[in-house]
Structure 1
């Protein structure tokens, strides 16, 4: 991956350098296009570098976090072992049981891991063997049947492994949930113990000595209220003798299940220190508590309505005696209110005048600021227009120069092509003349050779031509050859050999 990123970065850098190298000198008319291409290449390269740096920073941060968490786990494990398994600890006898249980669980976990690893390696080996078989596929029924059996075997092994592991994992998940709930409940309970003080704990305790209810409760209270307070004193407060944490979780789960009996099991999960009988007794107490509290509320509501009626009667009597005083007070208040309204109207008018003047001043300031901005914008537009005109003029001049340069080059090329064509034509003419002369010389040589041949043939004819008269007796004469054979020969090798007979040389080979 790193090599690939370096190659891509080098390619992007090369593209950017090429784009920069092919600048205004090499681009010609397409100068703006090459410049934009250069900018795009540089931007792409910068974006790529930024992404690479961001990814590298993320990787480094992740590695640092993992190392930090690993060190924290090691330190926590070390502190736990130091506190629990210290021989000088006062609770060493109790922690020995935990130590043995931990060792037992670790050993069982290791053996279970070894067994699972062995089964997984077996399945892995079967899959590897199947892959090796698939590399050399044969289109035969036996091979296909063998592959099918191997695939079924692997599938059955995987399914059996899953089926065996599923109930184990489900049981572990349920145990984990139960343990987590118990730990959370105990943690919350300990937190409530730590945050609670002696003042908040006092109302939940049952009084140690019996106090006369006549002294505590006055006789003026309704009967339902007295009965409810007696019930609270006898039952141990508004939590029924339970602490606030247990009672709150009891109410939470009961409201969740809307008072159905199925909530008891969930309450036992959240409150591991309570039994089912205690929860049922608390449920009975809570139902009686709700009924008594409802009666108390109704009686208090009746008592309030009665008191309100009495108060209304007393008020009517007072109103009759105070109507005259109220009328005078009303007149005075009305006069004072009229004066206040007059002063308020005058102050409001002054404030409005001030606000209007300030608003006009701010409007004038805004208009001046707006005119100043418009003037600046107009000047900027004029400046941009001048720049654009200069740029267009310069571009036109460059285009005209390029056009003239191009025309001059084309003219020179045309002149060179014309000269080359003239040279080629003259060369072709000379070559044709030379070929014609060669042909004429060849023809003359052939004619001369022909005449020479005819002359030689005429000479040969003159030499060979014989005029013989008719002699019938010539047929009976011996031939020259036979005469030569019948001649008497002398002894061989007696005299010097003066002449060696040989065949005649043809006329066409004579003189060669």
Structure 2
């Protein structure tokens, strides 16, 4: 059991070294920092080209180049992720490596190991090792995101709070380009179970050590004396120790080889991406130069056409101004002549009328014997008729009673509609 405990601790330390060495500094933030670095490089490349362009087109072109570069990088990462989906899943490879790692413990320590330790080792063996079937980069990214959503007062064995769980799973799925959100949920459940089993295993081993430290003191109180280890058992322990040392060396060599291959692969990938980026920058520079030359040629043509148009407009304005002046003068002279003719005609007409009146007065003399206003007054017959009507009215009013006379003298008005209906019924 002591050997199995030491080997478990060594296995955990080796796996931690794998997590620390397999990802070079800054590689876990590769996806998040790539867009910013490419945007800065593209902006520096654009500053070399854009000073020759007009002020109105400088900022929009820089923004378009930044957006295009970021989209190109994101599509490249997404294409790599799709290629990984098409290949064998990393879960199978990690599960196979976990079987190789745990083969020694399963064969040598299955009889004398604690149940909690065996349960923890079997869980690692059947569920893809320390990364749960994921790659080191994806698992470390998952842990970074999980630490941000997990409060500080909670331990690793606790799950993400329910109010933040959906947001946490959605961010993991989008950051790692997973097929579905269920994969992120399963990995989170696996990680919580792993921490719980690991804690149980460590507690059981501590309890076992404490019991074995106390047991000799209890036995010393009695008359019994603990016998020494036999030579056969010591030989067995030395052989196991040699096997553990050999396994450690082989595992270290394997880890170093994997790290070296991963480093070479990443360097090659970075070199290819750098070549692609440089090629893309050259294409953009050539397109920008071509666009600038085309804009300059169009500007020259436009300036020439504008000058020609201005000359035509100036000459036409002069011609139109002269024509307008001539037309205005002609109209004014015509109006003046027309007014003079009208005045002459009016004065001539008045003179003719006065001449006719004078001739008529000189030829005829009119003498009126009666009053002309009599034709507009009342005739004698009409005056008599009106007088008779007044006398009849006065005589009729004398014959009527006083009350009827008052009512009859009042001005008559039209009968309302409601009164007509009452009288009709």
Question: Larger relative contact order (C-alpha < 8 A, sep ≥ 6)?
Answer: 2
User: Over alpha carbons, which structure has the higher Rg?
Assistant: 1
TM-score tier (shorter): under 0.3
TM-score (norm 2): 0.28
TM-score (norm 1): 0.24
